[in-house]
Structure 1
Amino acid sequence: PEADALVTTDSSVVLAILAADCVPVVLYDPVAHVLGCVHSGWRGTVARVSEAAVAAMGALGASPENVIAGIGPAIGAERYQVGAEVASAVEGAFGGEAGTVMRPDGTGRWLLDLPAANRLVLHEAGLPDASVHVTPYVTGDGRFFSDRAVRPCGRLALVARLRTRGE
């Protein structure tokens, strides 16, 4: 079935998500040997799907303080213009912190930084800041597929698998 977060402790299972502007997130607890992959668009971000993935990993023995996160290429904050509906959802989800991930663009719309918002969600889920790594690359600059730049377009795949112990 479709899902925005997948977690496993089984090294025979390969996790994969597809994105074209949404945030791909890989999570790994090297102590508990638990892996997670997340697809987080604006809806998933305000619903805190990355936090839900960390909680699901916890049910498999992971601890947030041990989890290492990698946030992959997503639409850049300077390109992701959103309207009042999304801005309201971000304000509802992040309260006083909304201004750290979203700002007005002077046209009556807002610019949303999805990678920064997911970093904030992961921090609030208990991951140490030093354990959350964000790529400097963005979609929409011609390097990666971007649904906002070209429709239809391809997708970036985040594919991850646990190594078996000793591999």
Structure 2
Amino acid sequence: MDFAELAPGIRYAVTDRHGGVSQAPFASRNLGFSTDDRPEDVARNRELTARELGLAPDRVVWMRQVHSARVTRVTAASVVERPELDAVFTTEPNLALAALAADCAPVLLADPVAGMVGAAHSGRVGTLGGVVPNLVAAMAAAGADPARMTALIGPLACGACYEVPEAMRAEASAALPELFATTRRGTPALDIRAAITAQLTRAGVPTVRQDARCTIEDPALFSHRREQHTGRLAAYVWLTA
């Protein structure tokens, strides 16, 4: 599990598939209830992960992700599954925000001066819908400054692996040119990482950090495209004070 500082006073973590209690094919740190894993195992994995990160298990905000572009602000009272949306932000200390993924991009944002953090789930549909720019805009409207923000794009299906039909690539890249990619085999693909990076840059975010791992290539990570029946990793972000 990757665990470090995203900005002064702000921590983040990106989980892998090791360290939980789930059985195959979800072995072992599956954090997603949307899978066919045993709910009690997912709940135990979430509890164990929170405690490993020094967080109270009831101080983690989980979204019911639906590939939308919807964003909401959460507070200390909002520590249960949210209504369907794909981005959240907060100014509450030690309230962790979590974004689940298994090929889509978990994206974290931090403005240490405003004391504000955000998390988004951005796959093909969410990226085209602008969920990450919407999160930047919502945080700015609440007092953050994009020019002070640091972003982290977590592990995802890379542009060299994320194969799609030619018609899908043409339609997607017509709307967002940075999505255009080609796999190592020369087939049509989408580059979600490049597209989100471009969106963040256009939104005025100067520092975009990358977790360069590809979920399809890295067996330590969950990948729906590689395994179909699989678990979910999570990226967490929280203010430490």
TM superposition score normalised by structure 1: 0.86
Identity across aligned pairs (percent)?
Answer: 39
Gaps of 5+ in 1: none
1:62-100 Cα deviation digits (max 9, x unpaired): 111111001110001111011245324423422xxx1x4
Q: Which amino acid counterpart does residue 31 of structure 1 have in structure 2?
A: V
What residue number does 1:48 align with? Answer: 130
Shift, 1:14, TM fit: 2.1
Higher relative contact order (CA 8 A, sep 6+): 1
1:137 correspondence with 2:219: no
What residue number does 1:91 align with? Answer: 173
What CA distance in whole angstroms lies between the structure 1 residues aligned with 2:133 and 2:153?
Answer: 13
Residue 240 of structure 2 is aligned with which of 157, 163, 166? Answer: 163
What residue number does 1:149 align with? Answer: 226
What CA distance in whole angstroms lies between the structure 2 residues aligned with 1:119 and 1:34?
Answer: 20
What CA distance in whole angstroms lies between the structure 1 residues aligned with 2:101 and 2:223?
Answer: 9
Gaps of 5+ in 2: 1-82
What residue number does 2:200 align with? Answer: 122
What is the root-mean-square deviation of aligned Cα atoms in Å?
Answer: 2.0
Structure 1 window deviating more from structure 2 (64-73 vs 104-113): it is 104-113
* Residues 160 and 182, structure 2, Cα contact 8 Å, conserved in 1: no
What residue number does 2:51 align with? Answer: none
1:24-68 Cα deviation digits (max 9, x unpaired): 111000111110001000001111111000001112211111110
1:27 correspondence with 2:109: yes
3-state DSSP class of the match of 1:126? coil
What CA distance in whole angstroms lies between the structure 1 residues aligned with 2:102 and 2:156?
Answer: 7
What CA distance in whole angstroms lies between the structure 2 residues aligned with 1:11 and 1:121?
Answer: 27
3-state DSSP class of the match of 1:121? helix
Structure 1 window deviating more from structure 2 (14-23 vs 78-87): it is 78-87
What residue number does 1:39 align with? Answer: 121
What residue number does 1:112 align with? Answer: 190
* Residues 40 and 49, structure 1, Cα contact 8 Å, conserved in 2: yes
3-state DSSP class of the match of 1:148? helix
What CA distance in whole angstroms lies between the structure 2 residues aligned with 1:57 and 1:91?
Answer: 27
How many correspondences in the alignment?
158
